[in-house]
Structure 1
């Protein structure tokens, strides 16, 4: 089944599974880019604050069960398979005909109920207003919602304008519940956010770049800090995630917790710091050593990033510039795959520079999402040749993603693997679990 937005099927499915004996509280996160990172920070901080924490994010890495975590670890395969089987059979028995994502959402919530979690961090799948995650969370209620950066994406489902798309994202707002907003949003998006928040009487806190203080500590180390009402000054530079943009994502996560502090008495400045330090978010500006692919002593970096739209590609490009400056000739070797509904040339033009090398890649069938298919590698080659201006810069290797990366590493320049989280998933599936 393809994408089909709406709350009727998932609501019927959850009702058929019966109301839980114990509910939980929720942080709900929507946006175009950055929402996964915000969820990762939120769940890590809450777990370090002695709260039994569930997290549901999408799209998944490697396998659908990796989208569901309890206390920062993917749920056990036996538990996932058992609950997912139950949910699928319930959908069939009740003639609900739930979509794959609705089945996965119901599986996540049922697992959370069974494990008796205290709090869930839930990432919207697509849009927000009619996304399967936008269900009634019963007694526990929503502690806070977060709206990250919004861009033009999924227009076929959410609308053609930034205003239309933003209105879909703001659908996760709950009456009287605080909303935290990423301050780098377009002015038109911000107007819609404020308008829709006022209609739900939601207090809004906008985290702007000026909310972050850059200063040098007593040891001469430059840091980025955020002042909070409840926890004092938090050092955002403690994060292990790459990319300066993560400071804003982290600030959004901390602000959402700060606004809900009265209902989160176990959160302390110390637990926030531990949460920041221990946050993991694989496949997003994830730096690996080339020897993981070559088996020798090569020292260059391989960067994995699931950037799949223009906004994310711009952020990736900014980070890749730091890698270019560390090379002798400034060249980057790209390994890229894109989903079939993407404008490959627009995204590639934001990343590739003359002199770079390019390897087209693909990815296999995506579990439970048969409508997701990669762009043909010949189309990628054509676009790359046009952008790079030289056929010899566009290379090909038959084999799986990690075989292509192994060949790309022979050029002794940084290798960037990007364009689709499904490509990145295939790469991670062939590496040790420590990278997940």
Structure 2
């Protein structure tokens, strides 16, 4: 392989779905390379929503405090290399090419056929070990217990939220999903977790007790107090009882309450990892990092005239939160939503939630993605009136013409749609 195109074609050509829910194959593959996942400390992050934002902020906080930090997330927004970063810098193409070229014959000789996510996870562990990171901030792909990243014994575990998503893989019930996510909790670990549905809270606390771990929950030991909104910014005080000194008058770009919750969890996770190294959060560093913090595609304002907002809300909890946020922040303004989802998502229930708003909703099909819901699949699940445009560009043009450019132009649903919109409008 000589080009990044060759590498990405190879990786994307690997099987997408796991053959089983066991981690044996992943462990065999890692052993071939000397178990790189054991050569640095880790912070492991799972959750139905918010895990990507939380991971990015943990990484930025620790980098700003002088540590050598690996970051593993998914999906990417503009470029595949975003998924594997060190010190906020994407893995260079030449490093990616070299790693894949070196790893292929080793795996082939052992007759190990990995899925795409297994390959990317193995790449990440090898890269982080070779670059001798101090810590890897590792986002779970799906679930937790059986996720291919769950081959680590992380010193800090984070569960951002628990809701219905990926029921076909880790469900079908909320309790099933909670048990799967609790699978990242390890013995004597520090566990940071968000506000959870009452029905599954006992499952998480029981697992924490079973593993003799220390648990800190948002809304209890971790708190955001005196929250004051002045869109597009929020100010709050952060308390992490037993983790770090209180931090007052923190400011960050944010439109939604969940962004404050995610930031609070990230602060707690970073503080917990630092505490294990007999250090603590530097208040000046925290203020600097939060002041500029923005994750692409998560309630991201990409234009003021016209006002365009992107959000990768693609499941029931995320759509519920998005509706509440938009109603609060953009009260009284007309909302023109372009929505695109994968066919395996709960389109019917998402559509029902959107139908209860007074928004102008146009559904579209995410381009060049075989999993995307097409017009016929959408129409089967969405009650009339049903407005459809074959592309997001057409949906946007229709909205502009209908509104005269006045209002909020929102794009939501699959991150594949958000990636396409953002790349088209913002990429160099």
TM-score higher than 0.5 here? yes
User: Closer, same or farther in 2 for the Cα pair 1:282/1:37, shift >3 Å?
Assistant: same
**Structure 1 residue 260: Cα displacement:** 3.1
Q: Distance in 2 between matches of 1:196 and 1:311?
A: 24
Q: Distance in 2 between matches of 1:222 and 1:18?
A: 46
Conserved? CA contact 1:29–1:39, under 8 Å: yes
Residue 96 of structure 1 is matched in structure 2 by 112
Residue 364 of structure 2 is matched in structure 1 by 361
User: Closer, same or farther in 2 for the Cα pair 1:101/1:395, shift >3 Å?
Assistant: closer
Residue 10 of structure 1 is matched in structure 2 by 26
Residue 143 of structure 2 is matched in structure 1 by 127
List per-residue Cα deviations over 1:133-159 (Å, max 9, x = no partner).
Answer: 1113xxxx5220011110122122212
Q: Distance in 1 between matches of 2:214 and 2:375?
A: 48
> Is residue 338 from structure 1 mapped to residue 341 from structure 2 by the alignment?
yes
> Is residue 279 from structure 1 mapped to residue 293 from structure 2 by the alignment?
yes
Residue 432 of structure 1 is matched in structure 2 by 426
Residue 40 of structure 2 is matched in structure 1 by 24
User: Closer, same or farther in 2 for the Cα pair 1:22/1:115, shift >3 Å?
Assistant: farther
1:39 to 55, 62, 78: 55
User: Closer, same or farther in 2 for the Cα pair 1:17/1:192, shift >3 Å?
Assistant: same
Residue 373 of structure 1 is matched in structure 2 by 371
Q: Distance in 1 between matches of 2:47 and 2:98?
A: 31
> Is residue 205 from structure 1 mapped to residue 221 from structure 2 by the alignment?
no
**Structure 1 residue 364: Cα displacement:** 3.6
Conserved? CA contact 2:243–2:268, under 8 Å: no
**Structure 1 residue 309: Cα displacement:** 0.5
**Structure 1 residue 351: Cα displacement:** 2.5
List per-residue Cα deviations over 1:148-186 (Å, max 9, x = no partner).
Answer: 110122122212222211111111111101111102x11
Q: Distance in 1 between matches of 2:144 and 2:104?
A: 23
Conserved? CA contact 2:16–2:117, under 8 Å: no
Superposed, 1:367-406 pairs within 5 Å as 373-381=371-379, 386=384, 389=385, 394-396=387-389, 398-399=390-391, 401-402=392-393, 404-406=395-397
Structure 1 window deviating more from structure 2 (126-135 vs 64-73): it is 64-73
User: Closer, same or farther in 2 for the Cα pair 1:67/1:334, shift >3 Å?
Assistant: same
Residue 151 of structure 1 is matched in structure 2 by 163
Residue 113 of structure 1 is matched in structure 2 by 129
Residue 70 of structure 1 is matched in structure 2 by 86
Gaps of 5+ in 1: 291-298, 367-371
> Is residue 250 from structure 1 mapped to residue 263 from structure 2 by the alignment?
yes
User: Closer, same or farther in 2 for the Cα pair 1:305/1:236, shift >3 Å?
Assistant: farther
Q: Distance in 2 between matches of 1:216 and 1:426?
A: 34
**Structure 1 residue 326: Cα displacement:** 4.6
TM-score using structure 1 length: 0.85
Report the secondary structure of 2:200's partner residue: helix
Report the secondary structure of 2:155's partner residue: strand
User: Closer, same or farther in 2 for the Cα pair 1:385/1:364, shift >3 Å?
Assistant: same
Conserved? CA contact 1:215–1:222, under 8 Å: yes
Report the secondary structure of 1:333's partner residue: strand
**Structure 1 residue 373: Cα displacement:** 0.5
Conserved? CA contact 1:40–1:281, under 8 Å: yes
**Structure 1 residue 345: Cα displacement:** 2.3
**Structure 1 residue 407: Cα displacement:** 4.3
**Structure 1 residue 403: Cα displacement:** 5.2
Conserved? CA contact 1:323–1:414, under 8 Å: no
User: Closer, same or farther in 2 for the Cα pair 1:189/1:86, shift >3 Å?
Assistant: farther
List per-residue Cα deviations over 1:20-71 (Å, max 9, x = no partner).
Answer: 4992211101111111111111111011111111110112223432211111
Report the secondary structure of 1:239's partner residue: strand
Residue 169 of structure 1 is matched in structure 2 by 181
Q: Distance in 2 between matches of 1:222 and 1:364?
A: 35
**Structure 1 residue 216: Cα displacement:** 7.2
Q: Distance in 1 between matches of 2:37 and 2:137?
A: 20
Report the secondary structure of 2:52's partner residue: helix
Q: Distance in 1 between matches of 2:347 and 2:249?
A: 34
User: Closer, same or farther in 2 for the Cα pair 1:377/1:409, shift >3 Å?
Assistant: same
User: Closer, same or farther in 2 for the Cα pair 1:361/1:77, shift >3 Å?
Assistant: farther
User: Closer, same or farther in 2 for the Cα pair 1:376/1:135, shift >3 Å?
Assistant: same
Gaps of 5+ in 2: 1-14
Conserved? CA contact 1:153–1:309, under 8 Å: yes
Structure 1 window deviating more from structure 2 (189-198 vs 70-79): it is 70-79
Q: Distance in 2 between matches of 1:103 and 1:365?
A: 23
Report the secondary structure of 1:424's partner residue: helix
List per-residue Cα deviations over 1:258-309 (Å, max 9, x = no partner).
Answer: 333333437412222222223331111111216xxxxxxxx23111111110
Residue 409 of structure 2 is matched in structure 1 by 415
Paired positions, count? 403
Q: Distance in 2 between matches of 1:119 and 1:76?
A: 19
